[in-house]
Structure 1
Amino acid sequence: MRTLLRDRRYRMFWLGQATSTLGNQLTIVVLPALVVPSRGGSTFGLLLAVESMVMGVLLLLGGVVADRYSRSLVMAASDIFRLAGVSGFLLFATRGPLAPLLVAAALTGAGAALYEPAHRAALAQIVGEDLRQQANALDSATKRVGGLIGSLLAGLLLANISPPSTLLVDLLTMSISLVTLVWLRLPRVKAVQEQQGQGMSAVFAEAKAGLVEVRRRPWVSALMLQGTAQVFFLFGPNYVLVPMVSQERYGIEAFGWVSAATFVGSVLGSTVGAKVTSKRPGLWAMNALTPCLLTPVCLMVEVPLWGFCAAMAVGSVGVGCFMVLWYSALQNEFPEEVQGRVFAVEALASFGLQPVALAAAPLLVALMGITPFGVLAVIILLTSTYAVLFVPGTVRLASPRGVKDRLDQSALTATS
């Protein structure tokens, strides 16, 4: 970590993203405090739906843009979109017509669609292969710690100043991130810079090329499908069911303890992921996911609050470790010319169905009951986690060397 932070480029990149993470968490906490009292919970749900939908629709385009242009400037453009969106929240959250508020949500969704692919690809462009695992661990831990600090800061600010004034603090953090990214100014990837086409047909062709590169590596496709299944049946529903169940069983303050345990587990998991040096990181990654089955078990069986918190913490350790190994593997597997599109596909596979899962989870629980739903979640988690180990490349989280060289050359030829 010290080696990473001695690099001035990485230090500026990390500082800007740490600040941006803190600001994003402020918005997450403050927005319902602004919207719900004046416009109702249904409007707040509509804003989240619009933001998620726009992000999902534009993710592949965001990947193409991240591969075509300077990734740091694409992230800066993302900050500009989000600055505009948060400004819209500030102006229209409590008064005025609904349409500008929905436009603000769409702008923040568009900003997220630009940010996600560019962020991972930019990190790989700044950091060499030998330090990417540590860089991803620090990035993941920074997001978790920043989220926790942002939540605490939002609570303090809301208790002492108005919600609109708290959003002004968020605008300041985004401005700091914007300045660091403009200063960083990463160069465009050379091969893409020289050979990119023009017009929408070229954009669609490049998006398709990103999908093809993912499909040509069966272990990558298998793990992305695994992510889709687990988000829909486990991680997505957890966002809805965990706060509902914790509040019903243990009281209104319980979810705060559960959230804190989740944050702590994620940071520990990132630290573990940075230290894995096995030649079979895929086996580590799959084993790390297994403790996540404790969450649906705790939803089915009433346990003490400390047990619920412990289960969430242990599961989060596993997820944190998995994500570090997974992102590092993708950065090392694909040529930098296609990484923006690859991470766009990854984000779409992981989170594309999350809005549907959030809406469907309460309905499925109402129809099936919490116990059958929890059993289904455990079965899908275990099956999808260990079935992928039979796909060649998953155990090592890498294609065989000769195969990788041919795929890299093919990708560069397709880019040209």
Structure 2
Amino acid sequence: MPSASSDVPAASDGRDLWRDSDFRRLWLGQSASQLGEHAGLVILPLYAVLTLGVGADQLGVLRAVGQAPILLLSLLAGAWVDRWRTRTVMVWADAGRALAFGAAAVSALLGGLGLPALLAVTFAVGTLSVFFDVAYQSSLVRLVRRDQLVRGNSALEGSRSAAQIGGPALGGALVSLLSVPVAAVSGALFFALSFLSIRRIRRSEEIPERSARPVRTGRRILEGLRFVATSPLRTVCLASAAFQLFLAAMMTAYLLFLPRELHLTGTAVGLVLAATGPGALLGSVLAARLPGRFGHGPVLVTAAALGDGVLLCVPALHGSSATTLAALLAVNFVFGTFGQLVNVTVMAVRQALTPAGMQGRAAATVTFVGMGMTPLGSLLGGFLAQEWGLRTALLVTAAGMMLSPVLMAASPLARLGPVLDGPSDVAEHPRKPAQSA
């Protein structure tokens, strides 16, 4: 496997990054893929509700089936991605999702898309999305120089944020204006566009050398877990786990608090939640500039503290006045801004501190540990809201989210400077540098 800086352009600024045709192809493909994915998150459930007439419990099962591959397959995807060219993984994932959406559209037109078939399509799309996401997070480090990682991640995460805002709206509009089968075809077209764009990436990736006795997949997964557990990235993993646990807990109470305590309408609740999207776009822009000026460590700790800390204001709000609504919009905008700033910076740090042959497994391990806490967090939030009341539950869970910046501030990650040269940037033991990071 080549090093992260081999066979890449010698560019070091944003303009030269955008002159790189392979980066543009990756950005376009990832943007189309994310738009198709987030539109699909609305199209398929709407088909279940409008056409199949499913109940709330069945809709919950449908959503859970689509999310299950994150927990079930992230580690496996990481092991696979590190053995294959990321371009190959992304192309096949796009092709598979385009076929899945196309098959769903044809079945719907013929009246054969029942709930079992819809569950199968949802699980297939979720599975392929896991492989695509792990691969694209690992691909950038093979395309650009280390000093371009933050700018590159900023561009990719900015398009992902835009897709998170526009995808659901596009999916809903297509279903409303046209029909569910036509909307599904549109989703397939987005994945086809991503397929065509990423397939045109020309920069070569060397397949990791394979020994005469191939390493078992289980062993490769354990190697990824061991790498993260024994490297500075374990702090990223722990901070992500703490954040996801308490965020899921808070959101459980938050979604009850807005309509029941503040008496907000459904439209107002949707508007409040949507405010994180524009904030995330701003956070992506800031992530391209601030770490290089103030240092990656200080930006990580400060942004996490501000983004998580602003949620402590929510329990103090009362009533459904315009002032309360404006305050909620501001809180969610700030949370989205600094949360995205943390996401982009963390990704750049992880890529810089991880060897090329371990990129997929490191990304998958962090995702697995972080997202693995969300079911427990949701249960915790429901328990606290039931036993202590909504305001107390919000306060406790928002305070718990502050554990994430505290963990980062107490670790060597807080000392990372403006330039990420590699694993030597973070040494946990002065006499024994983290050579494996």
TM-score, normalised with respect to structure 2: 0.84
**Counterpart residue number, 1:207:** 221
**Counterpart residue number, 2:170:** 153
Q: CA deviation at 1:273?
A: 1.3
Distance in 2 of aligned mates of 1:359 and 1:100: 29
* 1:264 matched to 2:278: yes
Letter in 2 for 1:51: G
Q: CA deviation at 1:359?
A: 5.1
Q: Deviations over 1:214-249 (max 9, x none)?
A: 1221x3212211211111112x24554444444452
**Counterpart residue number, 1:354:** 374
**Counterpart residue number, 1:387:** 407
Distance in 2 of aligned mates of 1:75 and 1:13: 10
**Counterpart residue number, 1:414:** none
Q: CA deviation at 1:8?
A: 0.5
Letter in 1 for 2:124: L
1:359-370 alignment, distance < 5 Å: 360-370=380-390
Distance in 1 of aligned mates of 2:113 and 2:426: 61
How many residue pairs match? The answer is 405
| Counterpart contact for 2:300–2:414, Cα < 8 Å | no
253-262 or 171-180: bigger deviation? 253-262
Letter in 2 for 1:290: A
Distance in 2 of aligned mates of 1:185 and 1:112: 23
Percent identical across equivalent pairs?
21
Q: CA deviation at 1:278?
A: 4.3
- SS across alignment from 2:216: helix
Q: Deviations over 1:173-215 (max 9, x none)?
A: 011111222222664445x2344853xx621111111112112
Distance in 1 of aligned mates of 2:349 and 2:296: 9
1:302-341 alignment, distance < 5 Å: 302=318, 304-341=324-361
Q: CA deviation at 1:159?
A: 2.8
Letter in 1 for 2:129: A
Q: CA deviation at 1:129?
A: 0.9
1:183-222 alignment, distance < 5 Å: 183-184=200-201, 187-190=204-207, 192-195=208-211, 197-198=213-214, 202-217=216-231, 219-222=232-235
| Counterpart contact for 1:282–1:394, Cα < 8 Å | yes
Kindly tell me: are residues 129 and 400 of structure 1, through their superposed partners in 2, closer, same or farther at Cα, counting changes over 3 Å? Answer: closer
Q: 1:177 aligns with which of 194, 197, 215?
A: 194
TM-score, normalised with respect to structure 1: 0.88
Larger proportion of helix: 1
Q: Deviations over 1:327-376 (max 9, x none)?
A: 11111111111101100011112212224434553343223211221222
**Counterpart residue number, 2:317:** 301
Distance in 1 of aligned mates of 2:54 and 2:112: 8
| Counterpart contact for 2:250–2:397, Cα < 8 Å | no
Distance in 2 of aligned mates of 1:202 and 1:117: 20
**Counterpart residue number, 2:17:** 4
* 1:101 matched to 2:149: no
**Counterpart residue number, 2:80:** 65
Show structure 2 runs of 5+ residues with no match.
Answer: 1-13
* 1:47 matched to 2:67: no
**Counterpart residue number, 2:35:** 22
Show structure 1 runs of 5+ residues with no match.
Answer: 412-416
Letter in 2 for 1:381: M
Q: CA deviation at 1:286?
A: 1.5
